[in-house]
Amino acid sequence: MTEPVNPVPTDPLLAELLDLALEAGRRAGALLRDGRPDDLAVAKTKSSPIDVVTEMDIAAEKLITGFLSEHRPDDGFLGEEGAASPGTSGVRWVIDPLDGTVNYLYGLPTWAVSIAAERDGETVVGVVEAPLRNETYRAVLGGGAYVGERRLSVRPAPPLEQALISTGFAYVQSRRARQADIAQRMIPRLRDIRRGGSAAIDLCDVAAGRLDGYYERGLNPWDLAAGDLIAREAGALTGGRPGERPSGELTIAAPPGVFEPLQELLEEFGAWRD
């Protein structure tokens, strides 16, 4: 029997959460795409272009939390722009309304809206809306990962020295210097390194087979919640230091066969410390 191209979750709650996340992501993505001034990088309407980006970021989070609260008033929230409430339903939404802020500021297409739903502490739904890519990534725990109608699957694992790996850098200068040192040591051991600027999209690109792996130190829960589920449902392994889950200390995602030597190398280089 052929698997449905776009299967509906059998659990009614998960189906509801997925539908709400998709619609919230679509609305927020449209707000950010259509509301961005063409001259944002040199905007004069505020004290700095960053003020405009911050306002868009906050507006997108308010749109998402308002929409979700309207439909599920008892759910909790954790958002980059300050949304924080425990809720009483056992469901919590983890939201990054604009992942890839600097890309957005400069008019680069690699930014996204990231929305995840946790049930009793476990991520069960993840949606990453990338408007300028015209792509919507989604996953339900145990149900696979998709972009549009296409089911996602990680690339077959190459030897580490042939792997294309993405990473990211923090805003804090001291941490950036340490991360640059790690990247410099990594490059001779890999095919090459990429720096996309959006953790959510990097994780989705691992899921889609566009990258052989990804690692980064310093992520927040909202940076990785949705993308981590999407990557895992596409067949990636995710983690941090050996035996640990992805966290702000270190996040790694890669297919089996790349994950293990990548994690070992990052541990050897001390990528988890500043």
Give the pLDDT confidence of 177-236 residue by residue, as tens digits. Answer: 999 999 999 999 999 999 999 999 999 999 999 999 999 999 999 999 999 999 999 999
Indicate if the alpha-carbon torsion angle 52, 57, 62, 68 is positive or negative: positive
Same domain, 232 and 265: yes
Q: Which two tokens stand for residue 124?
A: 């069960």
Same domain, 139 and 180: no
The pTM score is 0.94
Mean pLDDT of 76-81: 92
Domain membership flag for residue 5: no
Same domain, 28 and 111: yes
Count of domains forming the chain: 2
Mean pLDDT of 232-242: 98
Do residues 140 and 149 touch, judged by C-beta distance below 8 A?
A: no
Same domain, 84 and 43: yes
Collapsing DSSP states into helix, strand and coil, what is residue 238?
strand
Q: Is the pLDDT of residue 41 over 60?
A: no
Same domain, 113 and 170: no
Mean pLDDT of 97-123: 95
Q: Which two tokens stand for residue 69?
A: 């609260």
Domain membership flag for residue 16: yes
Same domain, 146 and 168: no
Confidence of residue 171 (pLDDT cuts 50, 70, 90): confident
Which CATH number fits the domain that encloses residue 205? 3.40.190.80
Confidence of residue 80 (pLDDT cuts 50, 70, 90): confident
Q: What are residue 237's DSSP bridge partners?
A: 254
**Cα–chain-centroid distance for residue 86?**
22
Q: Which domain holds residue 215?
A: 160-269
Indicate if the alpha-carbon torsion angle 123, 18, 197, 157 is positive or negative: positive
Confidence of residue 239 (pLDDT cuts 50, 70, 90): very high
Same domain, 120 and 213: no
